[in-house]
Every structure is written in structure tokens, then in C-alpha cells.
Amino acid sequence: MSKRSVRADIGRILFTLAIFFGLGTAQVSSAEIRLLQANGEILTLPKPAARIITLAPNLAEMVFAAGAGQQLKAVVEYSNFPAQVAQIPRVGDAFRIDLERIIELNPDLVIAWKSGNPQTALLKLKQLGITVWQIEITRPEEIADSVENISRAAGTQSTGEAKALQLRKMLTRLKRENTDKTQVGYFYQIAPRPLYTVNGQHIISHSLAVCGGHNVFSDLPALAPQISRESVIIADPQVMFAPETTGEPPALVAWQEWPQLQAVQNETMLYLPADEISQATPRLLDSIELACKLLDETRLTLKQVQEK
């Protein structure tokens, strides 16, 4: 027997032993995709998802940001960005999910919003054998992580990782540019009647903190509490923020009835685009950048007032 044939036989034997003792299975397991659920558990996908359904408007936008828009087979109502989403079928809204329609579409991954979707419906989907991945984003830093993870789930890593890198660089720049700036106390109005705001743990508060904004209602226990007008008057914020929706009247105009408020006196009643500031998507960083510019202008206004 030649030396070459001996080496070939040894190679075949080693390969067989590797499979027998499980060494060969490392390649199989490495193909699995491990995703962190919002509750801390690990979801494992055997391969990238080819048929995805999202159950919140921001999640549809995140899938497109991750480069997986072509794999998105259904979304919920109010999913409106990017424009291509308008052509995708609807399966209810964030609170009412059409289970039968989802089953018909046969997804291999449903991406849900932990705090926004009814858990009973998500449990039913899992009981029906549908893979559900629950996501929650509470800080702007987590947007890039989620885009990257969605791209892993969909097998579009090159696009998702590039987008995530872009988002991280932008957020790092915004933090660097606004480090050590004078804090400005603000009130953020979600809705005027009844009057709702956000506490310090809300992603909007974490976002405005990048710019040196301090939420005057940060200590309230509820994430989005209902408050009284009197409490706002007592807090007397230097700035008022509200989301702005095209075609709707300015949301803060009613506060003109209290001219003693600093924000009214100094005309520091500011607006941010509703879709951008209200949803955890890459566009939130654009809204943060705008908020930082507005707060810089406010600092200049407050300085001029103090110098008079």
C-alpha cells in the first residue's frame, strides 16, 4: 500500500470519528441563529427567516432597515415607513391580531413588541407552532442592536451590520457634541386631553437626555402617566416638547393660557416629528439630532433672558 493511500485512509477514519463523537455537529449548530428575547430567554432559529411578519409599526421599519424588506409578508395597521410598506398585507393592529390570517401566511418568524402586543395572542401563536420573537427597545442605543439582530435573523447581516454601525457612529457623535452642556428642564406632552407625559425611563426621556434635557416628571412611577395641568404649572419647565403631526393644530397652543410659565414667556414650546420621536426606529436618532439643535437655541434664549 502506498503512502498516499495510507494518508487517505487515515483522513477518512478521522472524519468518521469526528462525526461519531459529535465533532462534526459543531458546523450544524453554528448555523443556528440565537436571538435574545425581551424576557431574557434565547430563541433559536435553525436557519434565516424567509417569511417574516411584524406586529408593530416600528418593527416593520426595523426589518427594512436591516435589509430584509423582501422577506416581510405582513404587517399591522399604521405601518407607514418606508413607502414600500403600503403594499404589504395587514394582519390587524397592535392590539387586535388576526390569528387566522397569520396562520394562512405561514410565517417562519413573527416579530412582536413585548409591551405593545397582547400576550394572550402571542401565546396562542406559539401554541399553534408559530415562532414568535419578542423585542423591546428602551434606549436609543438598543436600536442599532435590534437592527443588527434582525439582520441576523433574516440572513441579511451585511446590510444590517452596516446600518447598525452608521447608527452607533451617529449616536456617539451626538453624545460627544452634547457632553457637559447645561441641563434644560423640559415637559414632554404625549397628548393634551387627557394630559399624558413620560417618565424618566421612557425611551423619549433617554433620547432627550443625550441633548442635556432633564424631564421634570422623571421620577413618576408609570412609564406614560396621566398628570394634571396644575402639576405642570408647579413644575414650571423651561421647555415644552410635543410631537407634531402634519395637518393637525399645534399641540401646545393651549398652554398660552398660562403666560406665567417659563416656556410660554420665552417661547420655548418646541415640536418634534411625531413618527420619528414616538417610535423606536433608526429615525429616532434624526429626531434626537433635531432636539439637540432646538435645546441649543433654548440655551441661548435662556442666557439672553438672564442677561437682561
What's the count of helices (H) and strands (E) in the chain, helices before strands? 12, 10
Confidence of residue 30 (pLDDT cuts 50, 70, 90): very low
- Percentage of the chain modeled with pLDDT above 70: 90
Report how far residue 232's alpha carbon sits from residue 185's, in angstroms, rounded to the nearest whole number: 12
CA–CA separation, 255 vs 258, rounded Å? 6
Q: What is the pLDDT of residues 260-287, one digit of tens each?
A: 999 999 999 999 999 999 999 999 999 9
Calculate the average pLDDT of the chain.
Answer: 90
What burial letters (b/e) apply to 269-279, b meaning 16+ CB within 10 Å?
bbbbebbbbbb
pLDDT in tens, 148-184: 999 999 999 999 999 999 999 999 999 999 999 999 9
Structure pTM? 0.86
**CA 302 remoteness from chain centre:** 33
pLDDT tens sequence across 61-97: 999 999 999 999 999 999 999 999 999 999 998 789 9
Report angle CA 284, 285, 286 to the nearest 5 degrees. Answer: 90
Q: Sorting pLDDT into bands at 50, 70 and 90, what band is 308?
A: confident
CA atoms within 13 A on the CB side of 107: 28
Domains of the chain: 31-164 (3.40.50.1980), 181-307 (3.40.50.1980)
Q: What is the edge-to-edge ordering of all strands in the sheet holding 184-188?
A: 213-215, 184-188, 239-244, 269-273
